[in-house]
Structure 1
Amino acid sequence: MGQRFSQWYETRLFDGAMELFDSDSMRDLRRKVFENLRWEDSSETPKILEIGVGAGLNLPYYPEWVTELYSASLSPTFPPKAKRRAAERNLTIHHEQSRPVGLPYSDDTFDFVVATLILCSVDDRAAFVKEVHRVLKPGGKYLFMDHAWHTSESQTIASRVIAPLHRRVALGCRIGRTWDEKIYTSSGFRKEDLHVECENPKGFSWLVGKVFYGYAKKQQ
């Protein structure tokens, strides 16, 4: 019963609530993330995995040449809102139910892995990034966008007060976490292959801090 309620809450309420936070500034950040999804080999179609697709807010930003997408999330089925957005883009979806760590794919499977606003809800961030590194092909890219504070001291008082309740209603999202590049460099990615930008999301920075986005490239 508890698991069914959790799945219903995620697909019917939480994903819908996330659309309220799809502001102009967040849409601009998504565009910047997907500028890093480039493919020059016309003789081969890249394999792309998105982890935690949610309401499918990323789907409109995939380049037109992307016609097929692999999906992995806690949900047993591809979420309805995401399904509608995928149909608008004529995307063929291959969905798998999976926990963040223990993805049902072999090593060196994907050319790109996309995961946005995921690390805030993952218990072991380094283990998750290590799993992403595992399923990426050599030379593949992990595209990410996550909110975090520069330091724990920079978190606002309002954010500290709201944090416990927010975690309960937002599927485990921890708004007090800080940015740490060691999560990536301890998980297989080299520091020189980590490309990160940082911006303030207009209207939400008092709650979640800054947004860190970019990509990490797996060594050839």
Structure 2
Amino acid sequence: MTGEQSHPLFAALYDPVLWVVERTVLYPHRKYLVQDLDGRVLDLGAGTGAMFPLFDKAIESNRSIEFHAIEPDPHMQRRARDRADALDLDVKIRPERAESLPYPDDSFDVVIASMVFCTITDVDAAVGEVVRVLKPGGEFRFLEHVADDGWRRRVQDLLAPMWKRAAGGCHLTRRTPSTFVRAEAFDVIELERLSIGVTPVRPFVRGRFYRRRLVDSHPLGTVGTETNTLKVES
């Protein structure tokens, strides 16, 4: 495990620092990610298991759901396993990275990403892997913080190098949805910019994308069809 994937201090501080934020600002948006779940679900970067309580509630209403997760940071992964054990949640956690998922093609009905693409090294490769492991007709659901505009963006630019070192490799200035929208394997169901958070971790974007049933070329290419748009450069 390389140093890039191991952040013991960040893992230890994440839950206590974000305790209030998780239960207030972020909770309704995490809840959005688990609406009407069914089938096999992949948590793409479980962190300390912030989504696990919501997964547990989803299973209570639908016992057919099967949860899987990846988390390459061993310190985050240990905390996620402890949380799953405390909830008695049956989730299979593996240590691989999003750029090389350890699953066959067409493995999942839903892939969920919650505040993970800010730390992924190769975003294009990770999106390609999401496309590969999603079943045709499956959904990619996400909640991510992205680059802001105006003076807030200048603050993000100033803090970005220090923030990346202190916050587990987190990038403050990514425009992640642009990569998602460019993936021609996806059609956009919903895509929404959220004016939540506090600078420098602001704004957020959440959405649901549909995996097209037929793709004739590379998964990253032309833009899919949008049904609910925002500025896709975010």
Please, what TM-score do these two structures have when normalized by structure 1? 0.80
Q: What's the % identity of the aligned pairs?
A: 25
Q: Number of residues paired by the alignment?
A: 208
Deviations, residues 115-173 of structure 1 (Å, cap 9, x unaligned):
1111111222222111101001111111111011355x464433332221111111211
Quote how far apart the aligned CAs of 1:187 are: 2.9
Aligned to 1:186: 182
CA contact (8 A) 2:147 2:175 kept: yes
Q: Which runs of structure 2 are paired with 1:56-205 in the superposition (5 Å)?
A: 56-62=49-55, 63=58, 64=60, 65=62, 68-76=66-74, 79-149=77-147, 153=150, 155-181=152-178, 183-190=179-186, 192-201=187-196, 204-205=197-198
Distance in 1 separating the partners of 2:154 and 2:76: 37
Quote how far apart the aligned CAs of 1:10 are: 5.2
Quick one: structure 1 residues 207 and 8, their matched pair in 2 at CA, closer, same or farther if it must change by over 3 Å?
closer
Distance in 2 separating the partners of 1:34 and 1:106: 23
CA contact (8 A) 1:72 1:96 kept: yes
CA contact (8 A) 2:73 2:95 kept: yes
Q: Secondary structure of 1:111's partner?
A: strand
Quote how far apart the aligned CAs of 1:31 are: 1.4
The answer for unaligned runs of 5 or more in structure 1 is 40-45
Distance in 2 separating the partners of 1:194 and 1:90: 33
Aligned to 1:42: none
Distance in 2 separating the partners of 1:146 and 1:80: 23
Structure 1 window deviating more from structure 2 (14-23 vs 114-123): it is: 14-23
Quick one: structure 1 residues 38 and 4, their matched pair in 2 at CA, closer, same or farther if it must change by over 3 Å?
closer
CA contact (8 A) 1:77 1:96 kept: no
